[in-house]
């Protein structure tokens, strides 16, 4: 049998009894970083063969997993932290296993973005997990734009070196919203910092972040059913200049003016 096993996201005690049982009974463990996984195994006195399965060799590793399973071996698959596949290697493995007809199951456990969602105190009844954003600004804003009118709480993974520019992109697309940055989850220096997208996240950025952002406010203004260009024209026909009409339409829609600006080109 093949098992995708969730591992701790910080505190090594956050591992389930079932996960330990699975790792101890596995014939081989496929892992994102053998050095990282070895620390976890050593903490629980588990000695097993380790094989790398990361984003650069995932398809090749999948074939090894399929072969091991066909030989009757019990295979465990882990990432460095949390649940494999979720913003971690494993998605390609799942697809290859399904294609080969190889059965697999999940040993659930710790998860960073769900923990951050609870710590953020933002609405958690409905939410969307977006994960890591693209590095290129244009692609990043295009992806964010797909969620601009979404009224669900949004969860992102953000590396420390990307935090400022990614939050800036969120503000450009979403306008000002409440947000929360969570880092070092389950560790000694766990930190939860509420902020707004307009003010940004203050201080030196250290460690991987989960950024949680409130969803768009539900707006019942009938003008929002118009196209962006028609919305701006509506106000211009009332005598407003283009700049003021743009400002009013953006306020109606709850988006930054820059998002609607392209629709003003050619309007007089």
Domain range annotation of the chain: 2-110, 113-213, 222-264
Percent of the chain with pLDDT over 90: 76
**Greatest mean pLDDT range, 8-12, 171-175, 223-227:** 8-12
Burial of 8: CB neighbours in 10 Å, binned 0-12, 13-18, 19+: buried
From 176, 185, 250, 184, select the one nearest 213 (Cα to Cα): 176
**Contact indicator for 105, 134 with CB cutoff of 8 Å:** no
Output the pLDDT for position 246: 85
- Look up tokens 């992806």; give the residue: 143
The DSSP secondary-structure symbol of 217 reads P
260 vs 17: which has the higher pLDDT? 17
Cα distance between the two ends of the chain:
67
Q: Which of 61-70, 130-139, 195-204, 225-234 has the weakest average pLDDT?
A: 225-234
Predicted confidence band of residue 230 (pLDDT cuts 50, 70, 90): confident
Output the pLDDT for position 153: 97
Query: Is the pLDDT at 219 greater than 80, yes or no?
Result: no
Query: Is the pLDDT at 63 greater than 70, yes or no?
Result: yes
DSSP for 29-87 reads EEES-HHHHHHHHHHTT----EEE--TTTHHHHHHHHHHHHHTT--EEEE-SSB-TTSS
Write the CB contacts of 23 (distance below 8 Å, at least 6 apart in sequence).
5, 29, 41, 44, 46, 48, 76, 78
In three-state secondary structure terms, 105 is strand
CA atoms within 13 A on the CB side of 250: 21
113-213 CATH: 3.30.950.10
- Look up tokens 């990361």; give the residue: 54
* Average pLDDT along the chain: 93
Helix 58-70 crosses helix 91-100 at what angle (to 10 degrees)? 40
Which backbone phi and psi does 149 adopt, to 5 degrees? -100, 10
- Render pLDDT for 164-203 as a digit per residue (tens, 0 to 9): 999 999 999 898 899 999 999 999 999 999 999 999 999 9
Query: Is the pLDDT at 268 greater than 80, yes or no?
Result: no
What is the side-by-side strand order in the sheet with 153-158? 127-132, 153-158, 209-213, 178-183, 191-196
DSSP H helices, the chain, are 17-25, 34-43, 58-70, 91-100, 112-120, 137-145, 163-174, 228-237, 242-253, 257-260
Query: Is the pLDDT at 255 greater than 80, yes or no?
Result: no
2-110 CATH: 3.40.1010.10
d(CA 176, CA 200): 10
Output the pLDDT for position 69: 97
């Amino acid at each position: 049998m093949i098992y995708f096993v969730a591992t701790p996201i910080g505190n090594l005690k956050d591992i389930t009894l079932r996960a330990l049982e699975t790792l101890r009974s596995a014939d081989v463990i496929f892992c994102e970083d053998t050095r990282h996984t070895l620390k976890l195994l050593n903490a629980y006195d588990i000695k097993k063969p380790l094989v790398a399965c990361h984003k650069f060799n995932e398809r090749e590793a999948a074939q090894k997993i399929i072969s091991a399973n066909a030989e009757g071996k019990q295979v465990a698959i882990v990432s460095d932290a949390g649940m494999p596949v979720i913003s971690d290697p494993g998605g390609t493995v799942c697809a290859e296993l399904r294609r080969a007809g190889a059965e697999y199951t999940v040993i659930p456990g710790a998860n960073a973005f769900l923990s951050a969602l609870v710590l953020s105190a933002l609405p958690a009844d409905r939410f969307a997990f977006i994960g890591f954003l693209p590095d290129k600004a244009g692609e990043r804003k295009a992806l964010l734009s797909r969620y601009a009118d979404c009224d669900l709480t949004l969860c992102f993974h953000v590396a420390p070196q990307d935090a400022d520019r990614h939050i800036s992109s969120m503000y450009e697309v979403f306008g000002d919203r409440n947000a929360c940055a969570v880092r070092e989850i389950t560790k000694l220096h766990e930190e939860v910092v509420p902020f707004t997208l307009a003010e940004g996240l203050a201080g030196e950025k250290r460690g991987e972040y989960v950024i949680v952002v409130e969803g768009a406010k539900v707006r019942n203004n009938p003008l929002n059913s118009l196209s962006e260009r028609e919305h701006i024209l509506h106000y211009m026909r009332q005598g407003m200049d283009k700049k003021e009409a743009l400002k009013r339409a953006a306020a109606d829609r709850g988006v930054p003016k820059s998002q609607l600006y392209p629709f003003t080109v050619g309007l007089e």
